Amino acid sequence: MANWTIKAIPLGANYVIKSAITVGLDDDKQIWFPYLCFYITNGSTQIMVDTGISENYIVDGKAWGGFPGKGGTEYALKELDQEGINSKSIDIVLYTHLHNDHTGCAHLFEKAVHIFQWDEWSELMDPLPSMRLRRDYDTNVIPVFEKMDCSKIDGDMELLPGINIYKTPGHTAGSMCISVDTAKGRYFLTGDTAHLWQNLYSHCSEMTTLEGEKISITSAPETYGMFVPSSLVYNHYTWYRSMYRLRTMCPEMEFALPGHEPTISGKTFG
């Protein structure tokens, strides 16, 4: 195994009713879900996965779905500074997908190579009407990327020894997951293919909130099967295929690092 380490850093949060992320489960629970980025390093190469939300998508203190939210450039810079991370020193930025809450601070990483799937760029450039209505994609990031060193890939690839990319469409056409080999084992950064552990492991019955409180959550009934979909899956057929692929590669829950899972926020892995 390569000696990579991973730090899950919250670059903001959205105070969302849980059933919006795990459909049909826990209508009575409203929880702060983080906008996580992941800092990966082996001591020489520095990689960032996702970049949080733009302040343009937090209006009057509200973000996705009209729920309370926090984040943006200043928030991100403060969090990165607390971790001792200089955004201008990042070598590579990987995007699990190009939704507004994953690309919002791309401009901070001006010296990095930015990597995402070709299909994701196509959706950003020409989103469907439903995507426009929900403001899923921030078209303001297009000129930012056009000034950057960007690589549009198509499918799976080995990026570096110990870092692999897997295309996992469903949440979006160009969603991808990243595997990271560490001294402890191989971790999978799932992006929003699985927002939370429970999307990928339906039996979950407990969660730790951003405030550090352990709370009970509703374990999915058998009718759900292995997975719990979120309310934002563009193509359920491809999403289920991607989820089965992820479970095959990552059968143990502790090695999955979802993009909005509060339990893992602020922790180091590997």
Q: Quick count: other Cβ atoms within 10 Å of Cβ 252?
A: 9
pLDDT of residue 134: 87
For residue 222, pLDDT beyond 70: yes
Rounded percentage of the chain residues whose pLDDT exceeds 70: 100
Averaged over 22-35, what is the pLDDT?
Answer: 97
Q: What is the pLDDT of residues 97-107, one digit of tens each?
A: 999 999 999 99
For residue 124, pLDDT beyond 90: yes
Q: Is 4 in contact with 181 (CB distance < 8 Å)?
A: yes
Q: What is the pLDDT of residues 238-250, one digit of tens each?
A: 999 999 999 999 9
Q: What is the pLDDT of residues 84-99, one digit of tens each?
A: 999 999 999 999 999 9
Q: What is the pLDDT of residues 7-19, one digit of tens each?
A: 999 999 999 999 9
Averaged pLDDT score across all residues of the chain: 96
Rounded percentage of the chain residues whose pLDDT exceeds 90: 96
Averaged over 211-224, what is the pLDDT?
Answer: 97
Q: Which CATH class is domain 5-269?
A: alpha beta
Question: Which helix or strand (DSSP H or E) is residue 242 part of?
Answer: helix 236-249
Averaged over 133-138, what is the pLDDT?
Answer: 91
The count of residues in the chain is 270
For residue 208, pLDDT beyond 90: yes
Domain boundaries along the sequence of the chain: 5-269
Q: Is 194 in contact with 250 (CB distance < 8 Å)?
A: no
pLDDT of residue 229: 97
pLDDT of residue 2: 75
Averaged over 16-35, what is the pLDDT?
Answer: 97
Q: What is the pLDDT of residues 35-57, one digit of tens each?
A: 999 999 999 999 999 999 999 99
For residue 173, pLDDT beyond 80: yes
Closest CA to 171 of 101, 107, 104, 224: 101
pLDDT of residue 1: 57
Q: What is the pLDDT of residues 137-163, one digit of tens each?
A: 999 999 999 999 999 999 999 999 999
SS3 189: strand
Averaged over 57-68, what is the pLDDT?
Answer: 93
176-181 vs 163-167, strand pairing mode: antiparallel
Neighbouring residues of 52: CB distance < 8 A, sequence distance ≥ 6 = 11, 12, 35, 37, 71, 72, 75, 76, 101, 102, 104, 105
